[in-house]
Amino acid sequence: MTIPTQREIMRRLRIFMTMLAAFFGLLATAVPASAAPAPDGPAPAAATATYKVWHWNISGHEHGGTAGQITHTVLGSLSFRNPDFISVNEVCPQQYKAILDGLKAAGWPESQTNFARFEPMPHATNDLCTSQGGGADTDPYGVAVFSRFAPNGTDRITLPYDGVRARKLLCVSVPKPGDPRFCTTHIATNNTKGAQLAAVRTQLVDWSTDKPGNPADTVIAAGDYNTQPNDPLLDSWYAPSVTSANNPAPNTGIFRELDDQDPSCPGYGEQTTEGSLGNTCGKPAKVDSIYAAESRLISYDADSHPISQTACGGPCSNHRIVDGTLTIPVP
């Protein structure tokens, strides 16, 4: 038997290693990545967060009733609905303080010292806080937000002047799942409301849009917009998917309104006023709304609730309470 030389041994080793590499390379190309075994158990569900919103334009003292009667009605509804975010329009300073104190006493906020914001909207000639019952209130009424979660930021944005009031967009941001930013506003009734609506929409779109290094917020915007859903001024608000007989095209925006699926008036929603101004479905008008970007919504709904006609010795307000629920993805 001939003993191989060292050179022959090295040659045979190189051939063997080449064949081995080719064999494992063939295995790698023959078994696709999708054929790899899945981890044990089902894939984890996507994380979500659900929030409840409550809004009411209480009309100051315009419709009578003392501060105690009105705030008792507010606090009773809040106790029953148990929202996470609260929006109040046309609220007098003494009413704001009474609501704040009532929520504290009920143990509602997570933080007793950081959960409420008030922004006055001075009137050029008169004020609803001094017009009727409940005693004079030397400060002007305004808008307010209350958050169950302690806010870590506040935005107080002045809107284009309408010649009557210093209208505002008031928002708080909270460090909760989905990083919601909650806002309230009260838009004018005269011909400047288009400019005010555009200013609010531009800001909400900016916050709702992803930017490099700055992911989008989930913005929830409640308020009295003094504009019905089928008004052309809101075409740039509503997403195209809302388009219907009650809210016709063109709708070119990014938002859904939390009541726009209501079966009584699809695309429009339920009435939120008790006045004579009619809507497209033959009932009083809807002007109080809660908006959020369609891209941030997994599910949502809302309802409006009539107010007791005796709570304030008559109706406390010509607006109804609106409450809504939305579920959003958590990044």
The secondary structure element, H or E, covering residue 21 is: helix 6-30
Residue matched to tokens 């859903």: 229
220, exposed or middle or buried, with CB in 10 Å at 0-12, 13-18, 19+?
Answer: buried
Q: pTM of the entire structure?
A: 0.84
- Tell me the percentage of the chain whose pLDDT exceeds 70: 80
pLDDT at residue 227 greater than cutoff 80: yes
Nearest to 160 by CA among 131, 134, 192, 114: 192
Taking a C-beta distance cutoff of 8 angstroms, is the pair 296, 303 a contact? no
Going from the C-alpha of 132 to that of each of 66, 126, 140, 288, the distances in angstroms are 9, 12, 14, 24
Q: Domain limits of the chain? A: 48-329
Cis bond before residue 250 (omega within 30° of 0)? yes
Q: Name the pLDDT band for 256 (thresholds 50, 70, 90).
A: very high
Rounded mean pLDDT, 73-87? 95
What is the CATH topology of the domain spanning 48-329?
A: Deoxyribonuclease I; Chain A (3.60.10)
Q: Letter for the amino acid at 4?
A: P
In the prediction, which pLDDT does 132 show?
A: 47
In the prediction, which pLDDT does 94 show?
A: 87
Give per-residue pLDDT as tens, 297-321: 999 999 999 887 777 777 788 899 9
Lowest-confidence pick of 4-18, 177-191, 264-278: 4-18
Sign of CA dihedral 7, 9, 14, 19: positive
Nearest to 293 by CA among 159, 203, 170, 186: 203
In the prediction, which pLDDT does 223 show?
A: 98
pLDDT at residue 243 greater than cutoff 90: yes
Taking a C-beta distance cutoff of 8 angstroms, is the pair 127, 93 a contact? no
Name the token pair of 269: 């929603």
Task: Tell me the C-alpha distance between 322 and 224, whole Å.
Answer: 10
Lowest-confidence pick of 46-55, 167-176, 313-322: 313-322
The secondary structure element, H or E, covering residue 186 is: strand 180-186
Q: How many CB atoms lie within 10 A of CB 249?
A: 11
Q: Name the pLDDT band for 244 (thresholds 50, 70, 90).
A: very high
Nearest to 258 by CA among 298, 289, 304, 227: 289
Sheet holding 168-173, edge to edge: 153-158, 168-173, 180-186, 218-224, 288-293, 255-257
Residue matched to tokens 């009727």: 132
In the prediction, which pLDDT does 331 show?
A: 76
Q: Name the pLDDT band for 104 (thresholds 50, 70, 90).
A: very high
Task: Tell me the C-alpha distance between 119 and 156, whole Å.
Answer: 7
Rounded mean pLDDT, 184-205? 97
Q: Name the pLDDT band for 178 (thresholds 50, 70, 90).
A: confident
Taking a C-beta distance cutoff of 8 angstroms, is the pair 326, 293 a contact? no
Q: What angle do CA 231, 54, 88 make, to 5 degrees?
A: 80
In the prediction, which pLDDT does 18 show?
A: 53
Task: Tell me the C-alpha distance between 41 and 280, whole Å.
Answer: 51
